[in-house]
Structure 1
């Protein structure tokens, strides 16, 4: 749905069924809405939504903007949580009460130890801003001053017959390079990125050539135009791909910074974007005069508390007594970020599909709220070990005894279109009856619900412990997990850069969203509530 549809859509929906049976909201769930939201959440512009990252912050802003548009409410304690736990970013985001922040210790940029300046004839002519123009690279610290040299992509490859340093002398210099490799249809492997593009390979090549430091220009993903106003991201972690051996960072790296395109343009005295495109087109090394230009930089990180944001909104219930009880619908919005070769993990199925469905269900329920209240929670740092949901459960916005059930959506967009899997009924047998009723409550498009066949029982038990519902289960709250299907190995794009919007079955995602809507509707309206889960 879109707000432009307005009252006309609401009137039409009222003709489709009685508000008392949930059909009003069910009729509003549309594939086009889910597609539109998935395109945004899983856009390369979100840079893989690593926890934390600037891309994830952009995703959070989009999701919470929709919470507000739907008329959802912040948690009662939201302002107090922001004031107490928001850290340095609290003042920037203090009006977004849907953010529920917490901190964990990570290696992060050390402002006191980071600096970048351009010198011409030994005079400082420009100084640059941490976070906007440059970021340190973790474990690539040091203080450097040297003559500036443009080094293309920092690649020396006999296989590709490509040498950025032929006729150049990197020794003793600070070398500015673009991340990745030339984006050429035939050179290297075309759109497939080779090992030569790894930042660790680039830095090792520069170190072997005698460079004293490196400035690595971050580029937008292949074929994608990223908003130039986006802040430059610090890579807290690097994506590792399923089925591919991780190229690890050397223990002793060359001192290095990531820099923006605008920063590179000022340092080189030419348009860096046009230069990169020229190198892509020609796929041949190019020299650039940087005479009388030097740089000095300091690169440093240190362990410190770093803010993360869970996203929480509440739809108040309509029954005076039951409104003090809550059903939680959750879906993590983080993913694994960017890999060392610059490939973005868009995370369309994992878990753009779940978040897009959560948003559609939230909008549908807001049209006709149920008796109990509903908490919509989108967690960060799921990929790091359920950290966001664990933090949420340790600091709940309501009393745990008032939470009736938690329903989790994680990877619901791949596999047979008319089937879905639900884990957790072994721990909560009564919820099997709820799911059977949900399947019959209104047409969803799901014809079969898998609970894990006997031969998959071991995997389903392990999988049950691998997503956010498990933290609710651990504190005695009934929880079920909607998932695309077992075995997980059927999804060949899981945790790879190939997990893009094109690979998501929108019909399946929409059908699953309808089934989950019915499930929430039943849980939020029944007089009785499920008993505590079995161990």
Structure 2
């Protein structure tokens, strides 16, 4: 139901998510520069765009406020000497200074978060905020050949370390994003050059904007956006068990772009898991276990397990026919001889399945870590199945997650992923699924739904 057939036994299972989008006919931007003969107009989508969650009116005189950052630990204050921000429209530079020592160096600190900036700007009494987007930042010699991402590209700041746990302040001024060229027209200064000077010095720079007032209406409206889970079915080989199923899944989304414009490649999280999903599916198509297999590639995991929740709200088969679910998320880093598996605390009978699976053939896994990592238990797609009472196992690269310093960063690259680690994990996953799909008995329901 609700699925689109791609080919025999392969389907797109769509769900929708509400996302804010600009309402063009309700957006406007006029500006007046002292000495100009007549007011000017900014074009939405070309010169500026609304910022999601921050619609409203911006009216007043422009004032440059650096990066909009106050940090006592970094001895940096963009607001020093700017006590007259009240009632002004603040012009700030996106992200944070790219200084080699301050603001966690090449990492993203909490001060890159727009929400952190808005707390300080709101306290200063600004009437609105205009954010100037900078181009991407990569290590020297690895700068991309493409142009900076266009205005309509939506940055997904919330998933990156430092800004991941921040939430928009309850009271916040209206915010829009503007291009560097439009910012220069309005302020009379090249703010990207100013930003580069701050990068080098690690100290705020003063800019006296030319007298300019703006009158902006920024409007957003919630709209449903279609997102697809991909679901395949591999029929079982035993007629008496073909109507029973084992689910194997991995999420295929990642975290987007950080406030510095750096793309998160997601090679380990979760390119490794989706690669594993394809490899295990191919192996199962050869071994053809007795029960049928449901293969799921989930969308929206990073935004709150959205894809797996959608699947579990409308399962492709009755829940009673699902024997177990196996999830692979981040299986490409760490020792190739070690695999962590969560779910045995909630499903004690599955510990025996795991141990049998590791003895069936040469998996290369010498250390099977179980019964630990409960802080990660609710953080991947297996948990959606667990909540509806389906026994689950979560295969993961190793504990604690802090061992992987590249998690949710632009450094999660394919050259850091170990193919042997993925291979060993996939062998273990395949053998565990074969046991679950061939054993006459079924594992009992989880001991709890938490």
Q: Which has the higher contact order (CA 8 A, sep 6+)?
A: 1
CA separation of 1:184/1:466 partners in 2, compared to 1, >3 Å: closer, same or farther?
closer
In the alignment, which residue of structure 2 is the partner of 1:388? Answer: 307
Report the RMSD for the aligned CA atoms in angstroms. Answer: 4.8
CA separation of 1:369/1:343 partners in 2, compared to 1, >3 Å: closer, same or farther?
same
In the alignment, which residue of structure 2 is the partner of 1:180? Answer: 95
How do residues 166-205 of structure 1 correspond to structure 2 at under 5 angstroms? 173-186=88-101, 190-193=105-108, 196-203=111-118
Match of 1:530 among 407, 424, 442: 442
Q: SS of the counterpart of 1:519?
A: helix
- Cα distance in structure 2, aligned partners of 1:369 and 1:269: 69
Cα pair 2:4 2:13 within 8 Å, conserved: no
Q: SS of the counterpart of 2:158?
A: coil
C-alpha displacement of 1:127 = 1.4
1:423 and 2:342 matched: yes
In the alignment, which residue of structure 1 is the partner of 2:59? Answer: 145
In the alignment, which residue of structure 2 is the partner of 1:238? Answer: 158
Cα pair 2:48 2:176 within 8 Å, conserved: no
CA separation of 1:213/1:407 partners in 2, compared to 1, >3 Å: closer, same or farther?
same
Cα pair 1:381 1:387 within 8 Å, conserved: yes
- Cα distance in structure 2, aligned partners of 1:496 and 1:258: 25
1:273-331 Cα deviation digits (max 9, x unpaired): 666546535656566786475543224556x5644635223153374846655432112
- Cα distance in structure 1, aligned partners of 2:190 and 2:427: 50
Q: SS of the counterpart of 2:251?
A: coil
CA separation of 1:220/1:418 partners in 2, compared to 1, >3 Å: closer, same or farther?
farther
- Cα distance in structure 1, aligned partners of 2:281 and 2:264: 26
- Cα distance in structure 2, aligned partners of 1:191 and 1:451: 35
1:21-43 Cα deviation digits (max 9, x unpaired): xxxxxxxxxxxxxxxxxxxxxxx
- Cα distance in structure 2, aligned partners of 1:227 and 1:323: 52
Listed as ranges, the gaps of 5+ residues in structure 1 are 1-75, 83-96
C-alpha displacement of 1:178 = 1.3
Cα pair 2:234 2:285 within 8 Å, conserved: no
- Cα distance in structure 2, aligned partners of 1:204 and 1:534: 43
Q: SS of the counterpart of 1:127?
A: coil
1:315-373 Cα deviation digits (max 9, x unpaired): 53374846655432112345667788989877665545433422443455567766654
Listed as ranges, the gaps of 5+ residues in structure 2 are none
CA separation of 1:425/1:296 partners in 2, compared to 1, >3 Å: closer, same or farther?
same
1:128 and 2:44 matched: yes
- Cα distance in structure 1, aligned partners of 2:103 and 2:11: 45
CA separation of 1:281/1:470 partners in 2, compared to 1, >3 Å: closer, same or farther?
closer
In the alignment, which residue of structure 2 is the partner of 1:115? Answer: 27
Q: SS of the counterpart of 2:341?
A: strand
CA separation of 1:532/1:133 partners in 2, compared to 1, >3 Å: closer, same or farther?
farther
- Cα distance in structure 2, aligned partners of 1:189 and 1:409: 31
In the alignment, which residue of structure 1 is the partner of 2:425? Answer: 512
In the alignment, which residue of structure 2 is the partner of 1:309? Answer: 227
Cα pair 2:156 2:258 within 8 Å, conserved: no
Q: SS of the counterpart of 1:238?
A: helix
C-alpha displacement of 1:395 = 0.5
1:104-133 Cα deviation digits (max 9, x unpaired): 567x34627962525354434431129x95
Q: SS of the counterpart of 2:276?
A: helix
What TM-score, normalized to structure 2?
Answer: 0.72
CA separation of 1:194/1:367 partners in 2, compared to 1, >3 Å: closer, same or farther?
same
1:213 and 2:134 matched: no
More helix by share: 1
Q: SS of the counterpart of 1:472?
A: helix
1:79 and 2:20 matched: no
In the alignment, which residue of structure 2 is the partner of 1:500? Answer: 412
CA separation of 1:262/1:411 partners in 2, compared to 1, >3 Å: closer, same or farther?
farther
CA separation of 1:183/1:465 partners in 2, compared to 1, >3 Å: closer, same or farther?
closer
Aligned residues: 432
CA separation of 1:402/1:201 partners in 2, compared to 1, >3 Å: closer, same or farther?
closer
In the alignment, which residue of structure 1 is the partner of 2:329? Answer: 410
1:253 and 2:172 matched: yes
